[in-house]
Structure formats: C-alpha cells, structure tokens
Amino acid sequence: MEDNSLKKFFNKYFNIFKRNYKLFLILFLSFYAFMFLYYKNTRKFWEASQTMVLKNNEVDLSNNSSLSLLGLGEGNSAIDDEANIIKSDYVIKKTIEDLKLIKYLNDNRTFIEKLKGVEYKERNTIEYIRGIIEAAKIPNTVNYFEIKVRFFNDVYAYKIVKDLYKYYNEYSIILEDKKMENKIKKMEEEFNKISIDFESINQKIIKFQVDNKILDTFEKDNLTKQYFEVYSKLFEIEKTKIEKQLEKNNIEKNIKNMNPELQNVMLYNSNFSGIKDLKSTITKQKLELEILKINSPNSPKINELETSINVYENNLKNKISTITKNKINLLAVIDKNKYNQYVEDLTFLENVDILKEVNQNLLKVINEKIQKRTPLYIEYFELLKQKNFLQYKYNAYLETIEKYKLNKNIKESKFVIVNEAFIPPYSVYPSKKRTLILSIFISVFFAYLIIYLKDSFSKKIKYTSTLEELYNEDYIILNNSVDKLVSEIISKDYISIGCVIKNSELKNMFKEEMIKNKFNLFTIQKEDSYAIKLEKYREFISKKNKVFIIFDNFNNDYNLLKDEFDKILVIANEMNKDFFENQVNKKHLIVFWKDKKNGKY
C-alpha cells in the first residue's frame, strides 16, 4: 500500500514534468543563462597570504626564573595579540596611504555602491580593509601565523599583505619600545628602592660592627658560612625548579600542538628501531613482489606476499597510532635530545621536594644552633640575612634591566617569513565549480516550481495523468474513431444515454454511429418549457427501446434531464477541473477524443 502511494506520488510530479517539459527546458535555459551572466558580471576576488613563524628569542619576565622566584614574573603575551596589531588603525592607515586605497576604492565602486551613494573616506576605508584581513595562528601549530587578504584585484591583494606586514613590523617595534620603556621604568623604580634598602642594610651592618667591635672573621664563622651556603642553595633549587618547569611546559605544549599529519610523517621517517624494521621488511617484500609479477605473473606466491605486506603495513599503522597516543613516547622517537632533556626536567621536578626538604631541615638545624649563641651574634646574623636576600633581589633586577635594555636596542621583526606572499594566479570567489552546481540547482528548482504552479492553477484537463489524479472512475480514450465507444455502450445494455459533446465534427460522427446501431435520438425543442421538455422525453423513452440525447454543454436542459439517464457520456478534447470537482459522479463515463492535431493523450 505504501509502495503504491509512493509510486503515485512520484508519478504525479513526473507527469507534471512530462506534460510541460518544453516549458521546463526553456525556463531552465533562461535561468541558467541568467546565472551565467550573473557569474560573468560578479566582482571576482583574489586571496593573497603570507605565512610566518614567531621567534622565541624575546626577553620576557616569564622566562626570568630569578624574578619568578621573587613573585615578580609576568605572563607571555599571546600570539593572537599580534593579529590585533596587524588589524590596528595605525597599520591599516599606513597601508591605505601607501597604496592610495581611498582613491582606488572610490574609482572602482560597484553599481550597487554607486546607487546607494557610497563614498569611501578614511574611516570607512579603514573598516573595509579591516574586514578583508584574516590574521591568526594556524591551527594545530604552536608559533605559525598567517595573514590573508581577499580583495577584488590580484595585485592589490598582494600589495596589501606586503604593506600590512611591513607596517606591522614598524608599529610592533614602536609598541615594544613603549612596552620596554614602561617595564624598564618600573624595574628601575623597584631597583632604586632595593638599592636604597641594600645601602641602608650595609650601613647598619657597618655601624653594628663598629659599635660592637665585630671583626670580619665573624662572617667567616663556620656556622654562619654553612647557613648562607644552604640558604643560597635553597634559592638555587627554587630557581632551577622554575626553569625546569618552564622547559617541561614548553616541551609538552609543543608536542601537544603538533599537527597529527606531521607527527605521522616524522614517525615514519624516524630511526626508531620498531618502525625502521617494519619499514625495511615492507620495502623488501614490495620489491620482491614487483620482481615476481614481472618474472612469474601467475605465481601463487604473489597472493602470499600481498597478504604479508598488508599485515606488515597494518602493524606499522597500529604502531604509529600507539606511539602518537602517548605524547612522551612520540617525543622519544622523533627527538631523542629533547626527550632526554624532558626526562631530566621531570626527574628533577619529581625529586625537588625531597631536595628542598633536606636543605630546609638542615637550615633549621643550623638556625637552632645559631639561636643558642649570644644575642649579639643573633642580631648581627639577622642583619646578614636581610643583606643576603636584598643582594639577591638587587642582582636579579640588575640582570633583567640590562637584558631589557639590550633587547630594546635590537630592532627586528618578531616573525620569520616561512612562505612569502605572491600575486594570486586565480580568483577564489566566485568559485566556478560551486557556481556551476548552484546554477544547475537553482535553474532546476525554479523551472520546476513554475511549471508546477502553472499546472496546479490551470483549470483545463488535457492529459490522462491529470484525470487519474482527480478522477479514479472509468474513462475511454478514442483514437479518431467512435466505434470503440459505441461498442462499449451496446455491451452495457444502456436504455437511456445523455451525451455532452462540444465538438461539432465529433457530434455528427457519434450521432451517425449511434443511429446506425439502432439508438433513437431525442431532440429537445428550445421553445418548450422545462415541464413540457421533461414530459416529452419520458413519453419518448416509453415508446422507444434505446434513446440518446446530445447536449452542447452542461446547460439547463442537461441539468433538467441528467437524472433520467442510465449513463452520461462526456466527450471532449479538454475539460475543466471544476467540472470534475462539481459535476462528475459514478453515472458519468469520461471520453477523451484524440485527433490528428491533438496528440496529448
């Protein structure tokens, strides 16, 4: 039942196409021609790009373990911040001025822009250029960055990318200078405070020494010396811990963000014994297979070798998959030195707490011994502790300020260009392939929609498929002859038949054939009233055995007598859908006349 319904559903829409295929083709070609012209006249866009990699040689507080130890470190600026610099007003404005883009955009406005009265000035030109820039970190990479520009001129697309990079470097150096100046200023302010404190503690120590007649040998006391050695060692342990943690985090970040395809390539080309042995075996067997195919193409060993190669290739694939799941195993395979460094860092970090605890306990023991000494010694010892801590801070700040000043004098780009921008050889929009597919889809859709609407709103029935959709009773199709129809009527033993025939030629042919087969024609007198017409018909049929009447259309005479007939024939070249909705019932036999001029049925 469902299959039958589905078949009827598809038949209905297929029949609509079949009935209107000529119109469909005309509409399809018209829409396609329109889409083709639209494509030809649509503004084309070219895309230029440049790929860079961020350098890792910049001085930053986050990499200064001495300051991190003192709780003064700062975080790295994200690579994404560089995109904001590239899209900044300064960079875009310089690019616009250099390439005279305001004039170029005004000279090349689209028809719609001219119609809307769009005029490019500095502000909306900046926003327009910002909108066509794509600057971001490349996915699945750590420091790779890409600038893309889509513009309606290939040369200008290239020039804009080059200028953006050029003025990005210029503006980046300006910003870095300001940033460095601010950092150096803050660092120097802190350094000056520490210098004052350091000078002050030195003065206190000298004064304490003079007032209490303490000799230099006091500082060389074995217990004091041991304390400061352990104290310095703890600082060094904490400093090393920060350095190792930074190294470990960087290695993990790099391996985590590595492109999966690059991982597989590096693994495949590595000298790792497990992979190397499998590759060697596969290479030998493939060579043997190819030689065998040449020398003995029908040898049964060919299938054995092919099966064996497939097994080894699957093993290789599974081994690579297993290694890539464990990032540390992957590191061990692709970079042994980096792996050894990672293991060293990890080992140190695992044991650093033990090392710290040992030295802290040792410091505690020494401190307890010191506390048992004279109050004078203890007071002097506390001053030395303060001096030691301030000296550490003093040295850390001094070292960092010097690095910042050195870095400030280095005027170079943060990036190294990997792929230089070039003039794009072809446009990226609109896409020929996409436009072709879209044009075909739109043309088919709208062409069919129009023939569907035309067919749905048409009141005429000229096709048997339409009749089947509206009316499931019997119908006959005549091929330029009424013999079949009259034979059908005779076989049914109808006594009275009403006929609605519009075509005069068909009316005469049918009348002759019916009279020839002993049917009696009843003629209605127009001047008679309805009551007399009905009375005359009933009197006529009571005297005659077989009677038929021909009506020109569904007029008042037809409505008067339609209930008196055994069967009503409707014979026509075409009919109106309203008739089937309002007139047809089981008494009607629908007859379509197919002549030489009308081949629709």
Alpha-carbon gap, residue 95 to 114, rounded angstroms:
24
Q: What is the pLDDT of residue 59?
A: 39
Q: What is the pLDDT of residue 505?
A: 79
Q: What is the pLDDT of residue 334?
A: 61
Alpha-carbon gap, residue 91 to 94, rounded angstroms:
5
Q: What is the pLDDT of residue 162?
A: 93
Structure tokens at 371: 């506390």
Instruction: For the sheet with 520-521, list strands across it.
Output: 475-479, 588-594, 567-572, 496-501, 547-551, 520-521
Structure tokens at 350: 């695992």
Alpha-carbon gap, residue 486 to 492, rounded angstroms:
10
Say if CB 254 and CB 327 are below 8 A apart. Answer: no
Class in CATH terms, 461-594: alpha beta
Alpha helices by DSSP H, listed for 296-335, are: 301-325, 327-334
Residue 362: Cβ-neighbour burial (10 angstroms; 0-12, 13-18, 19+): middle
DSSP letter for 550, please: E
This prediction has a pTM of 0.51
pLDDT digits (tens, 9 = 90+) for 334-359: 667 777 777 777 777 767 777 777 77
Q: What is the pLDDT of residue 208?
A: 73
HEC string of 448-493 equals HHHHHHHHHHCCEECCHHHHHHHCCCCEEEEECCCHHHHHHHHHHC
**Could you tell me the residue ranges of all domains in the chain?**
461-594
Task: Give me the residues of the chain with pLDDT under 50, please.
Answer: 1, 57-63, 69-77, 262, 472-473, 595-601
Alpha-carbon gap, residue 162 to 155, rounded angstroms:
11
Alpha-carbon gap, residue 495 to 372, rounded angstroms:
142
Where do we find the tokens 């689209």?
110
Q: Hey, is 419 helix, strand or coil? A: strand
Which residues, listed in sequence order, are joined to residue 589 by a DSSP beta bridge? 569
Q: What is the pLDDT of residue 599?
A: 39
Q: What is the pLDDT of residue 76?
A: 45
